[in-house]
């Protein structure tokens, strides 16, 4: 059965590579340039499709908020959908939907991302809409107060009625203790409604500052025409002086084991949440840790599923979350079962598996299958316009280069099972874990 599975993975990989090479045959290498005001533009043409992605990567996020209004930038996920000088509220989304495209705005700790995927002949409309959002957003006190109340009510309700949300929030606060990521992205829940509106309005300058914007155009477009359009729409003046380049510091693994039990009424499942602090995106460790994540919890190869539900038939529900930060991340594994005895057995098996990974290299066949799947997923993401654009922007922001595909595949090719063993020993130790057990009363 194992041989058949690995053969299937290999054949799938070969077919995907052939298909990906065919798809990318008409793409050219990305290029970048800067406008006079400091805004960076990356062009990534792919001429055999009929769609274009316009992505704005803001080097601004919740980490830039003043301490007294920490989390205020999170409001801009909704504030950036309000009206502009020439657009009604939410008109941006209506335009994209009308043209069968996709659109999103997301504010993170380290950055903020806005993109539109539209038919290639509508690209000028998409660029104009983004220029409106950056240049003439209308933010009134009434709108800010509505969004403050919405964020408060939503998270207050979740914190008091959703045990999964409450558990996840607590676990993240502990695994990221004493780091930039300790506080929830929306800030201190009890302070949100008292945030000063004038201070919130000033945050708009973080999103408008051209020195903190990377624009990526990916898909089908005419490079000469698009450059003229971008210069026309985005060569705005900005009073703020050039910002100092942000310095990132990779956060090391934790040094304190935390194990907490909650006993709660009116829940149907017992659960255990394991959080493991994971590497920064700045290091090779980030790529190597993917092998551990895939090995443990990826549905196609999950060792935990094989051990707990196939070998021992414990019927454990296994979910996982992997954060998306720059300086530090966390792999969060949630195991749940209505039977506490089964959950305790599952915890024993997980601890045993983590210890095994720290003591022994994974088998050659498992390593090859993991490497193939990681490569397949990477190449698959490179064919998706929004993911390709995000990776281009983030890589340029962190490392200043555009050859993400070649660089990533070279690193992946050089990875060995000894690298994975080293990463297991570095990150899977007991002192780099937070465990929360939630039991039925």
Q: Would residue 43 count as lying in a domain?
A: yes
50 located within any domain: yes
Q: What are phi and psi of 101, to 5 degrees?
A: -100, -165
Name which residue leads in pLDDT, 10 or 374: 374
Range from 20-24, 73-77, 264-268, 272-276 carrying the lowest mean pLDDT: 20-24
Its pTM stands at: 0.92
Domain boundary among 209, 234, 259: 234
Number of structural domains (the chain) is 2
Given a contact cutoff of 8 angstroms between Cβ atoms, the answer to whether 320 and 332 are in contact is yes
Q: What is the side-by-side order of every strand in the sheet holding 329-337?
A: 258-264, 433-440, 270-278, 329-337, 317-322
Residue 204, CB-side half-sphere exposure with 13 Å CA sphere = 20
Residue 259 CB partners (closer than 8 Å, separation 6+): 434, 435, 437
Q: Last residue of some domain: 234, 261, 289?
A: 234
- For residue 295, give Cα distances in angstroms to 302, 367, 369, 423: 6, 9, 9, 13
| Same structural domain, 408 and 312 | yes
Q: Are residues 207 and 256 in the same domain?
A: no
Cα 419 from Cα 310, distance rounded (Å): 29
Supply the angle between the helices 340-359 and 285-297 in degrees, to the nearest 10: 140
Using alpha carbons only, give the angle 393, 395, 398 rounded to the nearest 5 degrees. Answer: 105
1: pLDDT strictly greater than 90: no
- Of 173, 203, 234, the domain-final residue: 234
CA angle 254, 258, 261 (to 5 degrees): 155
Residue range 376-428, pLDDT digits in tens: 999 999 999 999 999 999 999 999 999 999 999 999 999 999 999 999 999 99
Q: Kindly state whether residue 22 falls inside one of the protein's structural domains.
A: no
Q: Which stretches of 265-328 are DSSP H helices?
A: 285-297, 303-305
DSSP structure class, residue 301 = T
Same domain, 153 and 90: yes
CATH number, domain with residue 206: 3.30.830.10
Residues 348 and 418 in one domain: yes
Predicted local confidence at residue 21, as pLDDT: 46
Pairing of strands 40-45, 213-219: parallel
Q: By residue range, what is the domain housing residue 178?
A: 27-234
Output the six-digit token pair for 157. Answer: 């309700």
- Closest C-alpha to 205, from 326, 64, 325: 64
What is the mean pLDDT of the segment spanning 246-260? 94
**Would you state the pLDDT for residue 91?**
87
pLDDT digits (tens, 9 = 90+) for 186-229: 999 999 999 999 999 999 999 999 999 999 999 999 999 999 99
User: Average pLDDT of 112-139?
Assistant: 95
DSSP 128-179: HHHHHHHH-B---HHHHHHHHHHHHHHHHHHHHH-HHHHHHHHHHHHHTTTS
Domain check: are 230 and 262 in the same one? no
Mark whether 106 and 227 lie in a shared domain: yes
| Gap between the Cα atoms of 176 and 102, Å rounded | 33
Which H/E stretch holds residue 115? strand 112-119
Same domain, 225 and 259: no
Q: Are residues 356 and 391 in the same domain?
A: yes
Q: How many contiguous H segments (helices) and E segments (strands) does the chain have?
A: 15, 11
Inside any domain, residue 75: yes
pLDDT given at position 12: 52
Q: By C-alpha distance, which of 184, 178, 173, 183 is closest to 332?
A: 173
The angle at the Cα of 365, spanning 364 to 371, to the nearest 5 degrees, equals 90
* Residue ranges of E strands in 279-325: 317-322
Are 76 and 223 within one domain?
Answer: yes
- Whether the pLDDT of residue 238 is over 80: the answer is yes
211 in a structural domain: yes
3-state secondary structure of 355: helix
């Amino acid at each position: 059965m194992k041989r058949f599975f690995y053969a299937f993975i290999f054949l799938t990989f070969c077919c995907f590579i052939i298909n990906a090479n065919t798809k990318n045959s008409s793409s050219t290498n990305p290029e970048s340039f800067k406008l006079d005001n400091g805004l960076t533009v990356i062009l990534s043409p792919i001429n055999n499709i009929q769609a274009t992605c316009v992505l704005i990567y803001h080097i601004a996020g919740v980490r830039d908020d003043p301490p007294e209004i920490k989390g205020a930038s999170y409001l801009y996920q909704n504030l950036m959908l309000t009206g502009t000088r020439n657009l009604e509220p939410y008109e941006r989304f209506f335009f994209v939907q009308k043209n069968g495209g996709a659109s999103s705005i997301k504010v993170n700790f380290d950055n903020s991302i806005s993109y539109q995927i539209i038919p290639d002949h509508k690209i000028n409309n998409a660029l104009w809409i983004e220029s409106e959002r950056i240049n003439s957003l209308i933010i009134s006190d009434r709108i800010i107060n509505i969004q403050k109340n919405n964020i408060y009510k939503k998270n207050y309700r979740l914190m008091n009625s959703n045990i999964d949300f409450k558990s996840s929030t607590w676990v993240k606060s502990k695994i990221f203790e004493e780091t930039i990521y300790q506080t929830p992205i929306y800030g201190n829940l009890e302070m949100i409604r008292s945030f000063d509106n004038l201070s919130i309005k000033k945050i708009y300058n973080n999103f408008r500052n051209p020195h903190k914007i990377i624009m990526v155009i990916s898909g089908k477009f005419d490079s000469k025409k698009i450059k003229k359009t971008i210069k026309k729409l985005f060569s705005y003046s900005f009073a703020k002086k050039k910002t100092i380049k942000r310095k990132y510091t990779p956060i090391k693994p934790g040094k304190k084991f935390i194990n907490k039990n909650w006993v709660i009424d009116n829940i149907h499942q017992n659960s255990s949440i394991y959080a493991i602090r994971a590497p920064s995106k700045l290091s090779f460790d980030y790529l190597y840790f993917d092998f551990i994540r895939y090995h443990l919890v990826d549905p196609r190869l999950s060792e935990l599923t094989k051990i707990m539900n196939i070998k021992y038939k414990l019927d454990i529900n296994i979910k996982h979350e992997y954060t998306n930060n720059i300086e530090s991340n966390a792999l969060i594994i949630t195991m749940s079962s209505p039977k506490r005895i089964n959950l305790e057995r599952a915890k024993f098996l997980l601890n045993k598996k983590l210890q095994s990974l720290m003591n022994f290299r994974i088998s050659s066949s498992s390593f090859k299958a993991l490497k193939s799947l990681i490569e397949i997923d990477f190449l698959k993401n490179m064919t998706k316009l929004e993911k390709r654009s995000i990776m281009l922007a983030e890589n340029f922001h962190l490392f200043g280069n555009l050859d993400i595909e070649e660089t990533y595949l070279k690193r992946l090719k050089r990875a060995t099972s000894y690298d994975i063993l080293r990463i297991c020993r570095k990150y899977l130790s007991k002192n780099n874990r937070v465990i929360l057990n939630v039991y039925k009363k």
